[in-house]
A and B are shown apart, each in its own frame.
Chain A
Amino acid sequence: MLTFVVLSVLMIVGAVGVITLKQPVHAALSLVATLLTLAVTYVTLQAHFLAAIQVIVYAGAIMVLFLFVIMLLNIQGDQPQPHFRWMQIVAYLTALLAAGAIAATAFLSPRELPNAELMSEALAGGGAAAIGEALFNDFVLAFQLVGVLLLTGIIGAVSLVQRKATQTAKDERELSGV
């Protein structure tokens, strides 16, 4: 329980850091710290597989790409001023509402923990087998659909870049007088 509290506090501090730190790289690092703490939380729940995947995919790959973009675009720390004052108020209100909703769900919902024995049985071996079976048997359609969705995203991104390249080629053709 104590570990959980410490980890949660760390995680919340990290998450707050993401939105409050002025320097984008620091914010991204804060997010990495949050993700790593989350991974440790998984470990305390015996979900080793999930923890490893969390680190490899989110912290190790996705966040690095985030940082790549930040570094390549060389985003500076200055914050753009909001266009309308009321936007800020609405944003604060929404944030408060969301926080309240989360707190309400956490504290008001029936707190029946799943059977500990069943859980440890399901997570035996760090959960790799359990997750694998769930993914490839029960949720195979959803899994495939997500795969297709991601593929669509990749193709979309590639085609966006592609359009720019043909544009350049056209420019060059025009300039070279062909």
Chain B
Amino acid sequence: MNNHKTANAGSATTPRGEFETKHMRINVGPQHPSTHGVLRLVVDLDGERIARIVPQVGYLHTGFEKTMENRTYQQCVTYSNRMDYVHGFGHDLAYVLSAEKLIDAKVPARAQQIRVILTELNRIASHLVFIGTGILDMGALTLLFYTFRERETILDLFEMVSGVRMNYGYFRVGGLYRDIPEEFVAATRKFIAEFPRMLQQYATMFAKNDIFLSRTQGVGVISKEQALEHGLTGPSLRASGVPLDFRKAQPYSGYEQYDFEVPASKQGDAYARFMVRFEEMSESLRIIEQALDRLEPGPVKDPDRRISLPPRSELENSMEAVIFHFKLVTEGFHPPRGEVYVPTESARGELGYYLISDGGSMPYRVKVRVPSLINLQSLEPACVGGLFADMVVNIASLDPVLGDVDK
């Protein structure tokens, strides 16, 4: 870390003996294989060292927030998971939690447990992508295919419950779209039984590899202070020695009932960021296992007719049900005036939907606190003074998803 600081000072102050060195400005991206999407970085190089790095975001801006302001609360679930397409359930959960708080919905225990199971599974899937692509950025090709094999199993599970492998739209304000199929529990248990062995395999492939260690240890150090100053959250923050995890700090969806650890490290380097995420996968497994044990038959929707659609059977003999159905489908529900924000722990960091309701059936304002965008600020302390080749490791280790950055 000290090395980085002195190098930093050296590049910031130009006098270098008799020679004046000129910085070379390199434009990385938006079409670049290792920026994990359409991220553009303007990098000033002093030799091979980075003197200045400025991320240019917005190439994937889709205007989801504005679109959501023109959709009913229930329809918004279609948009939330499209932002972070790697950890979609995390976004869905963050959105429905905020909307539920706004309308004060009572989510049944079963629905909450299923949400936790799916979100944690998705967290594992997301970290698998992270590790696979992160190692790929260092030139090792094979691990990516292995991690995607396991991710495939998880996506199969998602397909089982929601019918799709991406853009799930399975959570609803007040519960879930429908109950999970019967075979889901057995399939998930099978996955949980097999996955630790796979993790072991991955660990032998990278965690003890000398080249991996020399590429990541002491690289891209973000100190505790820098991390806090730059608003870093999530596993990257925990790698810098701040064990902040909203699942523990402000539990939601019943996370307080589960027994799990929050892996943290003090190093703050790329290696720590890799390992914290790696260990988080085992912790997620523990949570899933406990949630599966607690799973008991029951409703998966808030029985409140103002929020959830009435069951199909009632529509045939109850006029009242038909009216509720009609109102909910055509107009949606009207939460009281007010504003909410519920922070959640996505795979990437603090994720929350700030919603303002003016009493109408659509949110007056939607603002998403996306972790990727804000974590990207920490690229500067991680990269400046370091080598250009380390930049890709740093980007990978901060794990930005560009959909999540640009919204």
Q: What residues make up the interface of A, taking CB atoms closer than 8 Å to B?
A: 163-165, 167-168, 171-172, 175-176
Residues of B within 8 A of A165 (CB): 17
Q: What residues make up the interface of B, taking CB atoms closer than 8 Å to A?
A: 6, 9-10, 13, 15-19
Residues of A within 8 A of B16 (CB): 164, 167-168, 171
B10 & A172 in contact (Cβ 8 Å cutoff): yes
A34 to chain B, nearest CB (A): 32
Residues of A within 8 A of B18 (CB): 164, 167
A168 & B17 in contact (Cβ 8 Å cutoff): yes
B19 & A171 in contact (Cβ 8 Å cutoff): no
Least CB separation from B13: chain A residue? A175
Q: Of residues B10, B13, B17, B18, which shows the largest number of chain A Cβ atoms within 10 Å of its Cβ?
A: B17
Q: Of residues B6, B9, B16, B19, which shows the largest number of chain A Cβ atoms within 10 Å of its Cβ?
A: B16
B19 & A164 in contact (Cβ 8 Å cutoff): yes
A164 & B17 in contact (Cβ 8 Å cutoff): yes
A168 & B10 in contact (Cβ 8 Å cutoff): yes
A23 vs B325: C-alpha distance when bound (angstroms): 79
A175 & B9 in contact (Cβ 8 Å cutoff): yes
A176 & B9 in contact (Cβ 8 Å cutoff): yes
B319 to chain A, nearest CB (A): 81
A165 vs B10: C-alpha distance when bound (angstroms): 11
A31 vs B133: C-alpha distance when bound (angstroms): 46
A58 vs B15: C-alpha distance when bound (angstroms): 36
Least CB separation from B15: chain A residue? A171
Partner of B13, one of A163, A167, A172: A172
Partner of B6, one of A163, A167, A172: A172
Q: Provide 7 A-B residue pairs closer than 8 Å at the C-beta atoms, listed in order of the A residue.
A: A165-B17, A167-B16, A167-B18, A171-B15, A171-B17, A172-B10, A175-B13
Residues of A within 8 A of B6 (CB): 172
Residues of A within 8 A of B13 (CB): 171-172, 175
A177 to chain B, nearest CB (A): 11
Residues of A within 8 A of B9 (CB): 172, 175-176
Q: Which 3 A-B pairs have the closest CB atoms?
A: A164-B17, A167-B17, A171-B15
